[in-house]
A and B are shown apart, each in its own frame.
Chain A
Amino acid sequence: MKLIIGGACQGKLTYAKETYHITDGWADGRSCSRKDLSSCRGIHHFHEYIRRMILSGEQSAALADLERQAGEFARTLAQENPELVIVSDELGYGIVPVEKTDRLWRELTGRICTCLAAQADEVVRVVCGIGIRIK
C-alpha cells in the first residue's frame, strides 16, 4: 500500500500516476462506493470519501471510539487491497472548525491516515508537485 498526501492542488494525483505507472483504474473519493475501494488500483480525493462516510452515518460520531474504528478501517482496507495507492489531502493544518461534522472529519481523516501510514510500505508528501518520501 502507498499513501500520497499533501495540501490541495499540489499535484498529488499526477505524481502518483507517474510514479506508480497507474493510468487507469482510479476511483474518485467524491463518488466511488465502498466496493470500489477493494477493487481499484488507486483512489484519489480519499479525504472526501471519509467525509461521505460520516455524512452517510456509516461512521459514528463518538470521538472516544474513533481510533479503534480508524484502525479497523485501515487494516481491512490493507487486507482487501494490499497494492492500493491512496491519494489524500492532508487536513488538520488550520483552526478548529466551528461545525461539529468538520471537526469529526479532520479528526477521522487524521486517525485513518495515521493508521494507513503505519500499514503502508511507502508514504510520500507532495509539495509543489515534488514528492518527498517520508516513509
Chain B
Amino acid sequence: MFHVITGGSGSGKSKYAEELVLSAGKGTRIYVATMIPYGEEGMQRVERHRKLRAQKHFRTVECYTGLEKLVFPKDGIVLLECMSNLAANEMYEADGAHEQTAQAILRGIDSLRAQVRHLFVVTNEVFSDGLAYDEETMRYIACLGEINRRLAQRADAVTEVVYGIPVKVK
C-alpha cells in the first residue's frame, strides 16, 4: 500500500498520517524525518512532531538527502515526512541531487515501495498563495509539483487533509 497524504500547512496532515500507520496492522513502524532542524523554530517543530509520535512506537530515521540509500525490513510500515523538506534538501544541500532532485527522490520512493509493506508519504500543498516568487523559489515549487504528480500516479491512495478532515483525491 502506497498512500500519499497532502494538505496545507497546519492542517493536521501529520496526525492523520500517523493514525493511518497505527491502523495499518502489525509491522515495524519507521518514521523517516526529513526536516533539518535549523534554528529555534526548527527545533520547536521537530519537538512538536516528536510529542505527537510519542507512545506510538516509531523507530525514527533521519534522512535529509539520499532516500534511495535506506534499507528497511520487509514488514516495515514507513511514514515519510515531509516531501517538501526532502525536495528542498536535495535541491540546496551540498550533498543533494540538485538538478536531479525529482529523479533522485522518485528512485528513493520506488526503492522504499519495493522493500516495505506499507509506505505513507506526507507532502505539502505550496501552490496556491498566488504570489510570484524569485526564480529559485519558482523552480522549487515546480519541482515539488512534479514530484507530487508523479507520487500520485504511483499511489494506491491520495488524501488531502483539510483542517483535520480527510478528503479523498484518489
A-side residues, CB < 8 A to B, are 3, 5, 7, 62-64, 67, 90-96, 100, 103, 106-111, 113-114, 116-118, 123, 125, 134-135
A-B contact count (CB 8 A): 80
| Secondary structure call for the B interface | loop
The stretch of B42-50, B62-70, B99-107, B146-154 in contact with A is B42-50
Q: Which one of B48, B126, B162 lies within 8 Å of A63 (CB-CB)?
A: B48
Contact A94 B126 (CB under 8 A): yes
A63 near B45: Cβ-Cβ < 8 Å: yes
- Give the interface size bracket for B toward A: 20 to 34
Q: A106 — nearest CB in chain B belongs to which residue?
A: B9
Contact between chains at B162 and A92 (CB < 8 Å) = no
Q: Is B71 an interface residue (CB 8 A)?
A: no
Residue in B128, B131, B163, B167 whose beta carbon sits within 8 Å of that of A7 in the complex: B128
Report the minimum CB–CB distance from B92 to chain A (whole Å).
Answer: 14
CB under 8 Å from chain A, chain B span 95-134: 125-131, 133
CA distance A111 to B131 in the complex (A): 23
